[in-house]
């Protein structure tokens, strides 16, 4: 705190007056005159280049009397830094669906870390560095929407379109200047794709039941130094055509990346110059990143063009899924809420399936269909 800061600098002024000192002598004087060890800070932030990037992989909640213990699991990634950072002081922010809010100070170290904090409510959203006091490889911002609107989120490199909402919407958007996790199984259907090693986005939010939004993200691979230059040039192995780019999505850490369906790729002029944008037709909490087809185009790329029906939607108790245009007969049907939590999952061996939704609370959900390990489609459904 302030007392240690002023004590340390007072000691330097008294003991090192009218003399030059180097960084290590500066560090040692601070350590000798305060109760806070700044060795990790100097090793990570002063003596070496680069930046860390800390993110929340997941969290669990347990009742503790009238309070709740929240165990938070974090992961650290690096941008141009030689080693993982230690003893980094972060603010963690937690909210529930009613916008109750708590912020706590925590210390994070290493590639993975776990901390437990106690707060007076059950949180549904958690994120780091709301106060922007740590200069890490993430830029983010909070947004609150009260009506239909469009907004450029410059810190998070997103253009947001809010098309429908019944109540206020809270959104935390983050642009991470590091490589995301890779594919869980890189040998499956996704073997033909290459993911970005430069950046990814994270969306947190309290969206309500009738929220509908979209976003636009720009790809920038037109010249050396541009954010996506390495992805588009693949080490300088050939000419990149922008119809090969895809936007990938996962609901959270531990989930497999899938190609986000129903996106529109729009080159900004020349489709070979590596500059343009992708429009989505939905906005979901989770992670997003760019990828492109690095291998032969096969069934997985043509499957998006096939017809399917999901009805009735909105619905009350049942939902029909008609996949007769597809060739498989072994599907996994999964329903997640807008926070990415799975609420129902079933297997089907029929091209026409009936889901019983009578145990699901009214709200907006995401239906995902997988053909064994291959992503088929994702569709928003409304349950009354």
Show which of 135, 157, 182 is a domain's final residue.
135
Say yes or no to pLDDT of 300 above 50.
no
Q: Judge residue 238's burial from the number of C-beta atoms within 10 Å of its C-beta, 0-12 exposed, 13-18 middle, 19 or more buried.
A: exposed
Residue 159 forms part of a structural domain: yes
Averaged pLDDT for residues 183-207: 89
Residue 42 forms part of a structural domain: no
DSSP string, 196-250: -SS-EEEEEEE--TT-EEEEEEEEE-SSTTSTTHHHHHTTTTS---GGGEEEEEE
Residue 43 forms part of a structural domain: no
- How large is the greatest C-alpha to C-alpha distance in the chain, in angstroms? 83
CATH label of the domain that carries residue 370? 2.60.40.3080
In this structure, are 59 and 165 located in the same domain? no
Q: Please tell me the distance from the alpha carbon of residue 309 to that of residue 4, in angstroms, as a whole number.
A: 65
Q: Please tell me the distance from the alpha carbon of residue 378 to that of residue 257, in angstroms, as a whole number.
A: 13
Q: Is 35 left (phi over 0), alpha (psi -120 to 50) or beta?
A: alpha
Averaged pLDDT for residues 258-263: 90
Residue 296 forms part of a structural domain: yes
DSSP string, 311-367: ESSSBSSEEEEE-TTSS---EEEEEEETTS-EEEEEEE-SSEEEEE-TTSPSEEEEE
Q: Which residue has the tokens 């029906």?
A: 309
Residue 5: pLDDT band by 50, 70, 90 thresholds? Answer: confident
Show which of 271, 303, 335 is a domain's final residue.
303
In this structure, are 171 and 267 located in the same domain? yes
Lowest-confidence range among 146-155, 190-199, 234-243, 295-304?
A: 295-304
Average of per-residue pLDDT values in the chain: 89
In this structure, are 329 and 365 located in the same domain? yes
Handedness of CA 345, 189, 352, 214 (dihedral sign): positive
pLDDT at 287: 98
pLDDT at 69: 98
Residue 297: pLDDT band by 50, 70, 90 thresholds? Answer: very low
Instruction: Give the C-alpha distances (Å, rounded to integers) separating 271 from 34, 190, 209.
Output: 59, 24, 38
Show which of 104, 135, 166 is a domain's final residue.
135
Residue 335 forms part of a structural domain: yes
Q: Residue 375 sits in which domain range? A: 306-383
Q: What predicted TM-score, i.e. pTM, was given to this entire model?
A: 0.76
Residue 120 forms part of a structural domain: yes
pLDDT in tens, 240-251: 678 789 999 999
In this structure, are 129 and 141 located in the same domain? no
Averaged pLDDT for residues 25-51: 94
| Residues 81/126, Cβ–Cβ less than 8 Å | no
Residues ≥6 apart with Cβ < 8 Å to 97: 124, 206
CATH label of the domain that carries residue 269? 2.60.220
In this structure, are 108 and 226 located in the same domain? no
State the pairing for strand pair 286-293/245-250.
Answer: antiparallel
In this structure, are 156 and 112 located in the same domain? no
In this structure, are 63 and 201 located in the same domain? no
In this structure, are 92 and 145 located in the same domain? no
Say yes or no to pLDDT of 201 above 50.
yes
pLDDT in tens, 141-191: 999 999 999 999 999 999 999 999 999 999 999 999 999 999 998 877 777
In this structure, are 165 and 289 located in the same domain? yes
In this structure, are 243 and 365 located in the same domain? no
Residue 83 forms part of a structural domain: yes
| Residues 243/276, Cβ–Cβ less than 8 Å | no
- Structure-block tokens of residue 23: 């960084």
In this structure, are 152 and 237 located in the same domain? yes
In this structure, are 144 and 205 located in the same domain? yes
**H/E element holding 33?**
helix 23-33
Q: How many folded domains does the chain comprise?
A: 4
Q: Please tell me the distance from the alpha carbon of residue 286 to that of residue 295, in angstroms, as a whole number.
A: 27
């Amino acid at each position: 705190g302030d007392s240690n800061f002023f004590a340390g600098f007072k000691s330097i002024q008294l003991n090192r007056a009218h003399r030059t000192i180097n960084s290590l002598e500066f560090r040692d004087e601070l350590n000798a005159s305060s109760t806070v060890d700044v060795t990790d800070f100097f090793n990570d932030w002063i003596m070496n280049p680069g930046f860390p990037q800390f993110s929340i992989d997941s969290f669990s909640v347990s009742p503790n009397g009238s309070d709740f213990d929240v165990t938070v699991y974090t992961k650290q990634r690096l941008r141009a830094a030689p080693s993982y950072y230690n003893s980094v002081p972060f603010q963690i922010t937690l909210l529930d669906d009613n916008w109750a809010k708590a912020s706590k100070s925590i210390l994070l170290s290493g590639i993975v870390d776990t901390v437990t904090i106690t707060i007076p409510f059950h949180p549904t959203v958690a994120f780091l560095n709301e106060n922007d006091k740590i200069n890490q490889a993430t830029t983010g911002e909070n947004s609150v929407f009260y009506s239909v609107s469009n907004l450029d989120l410059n810190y998070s490199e997103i253009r947001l379109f809010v098309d429908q909402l019944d109540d206020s919407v809270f959104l935390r958007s983050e642009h991470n200047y590091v490589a995301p996790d890779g594919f869980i199984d890189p040998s499956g259907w996704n073997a033909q794709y290459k993911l970005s090693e430069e950046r990814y986005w994270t969306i947190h939010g309290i969206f309500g039941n009738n929220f509908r939004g979209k976003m636009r993200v720009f790809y920038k691979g037109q010249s050396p130094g541009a954010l996506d230059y390495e992805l588009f040039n693949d080490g300088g192995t050939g000419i990149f055509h922008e119809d090969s780019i895809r936007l990938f999505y996962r609901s959270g850490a531990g989930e497999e990346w899938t190609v986000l369906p129903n996106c529109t790729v729009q080159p900004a002029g020349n489709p070979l110059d590596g500059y343009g944008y992708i429009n989505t037709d939905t906005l979901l909490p989770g992670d997003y990143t760019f990828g492109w087809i690095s291998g032969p185009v096969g069934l997985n790329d043509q499957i998006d063009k096939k017809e399917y029906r999901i009805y009735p939607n909105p619905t009350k108790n049942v939902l029909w899924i008609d996949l007769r245009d597809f060739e498989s007969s072994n599907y996994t049907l999964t329903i997640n809420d807008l926070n990415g939590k799975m609420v129902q999952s079933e297997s089907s061996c029929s091209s026409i399936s009936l889901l019983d939704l009578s145990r699901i609370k009214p709200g907006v959900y995401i239906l995902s269909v997988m053909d064994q390990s291959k992503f088929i489609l994702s569709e928003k459904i409304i349950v009354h």
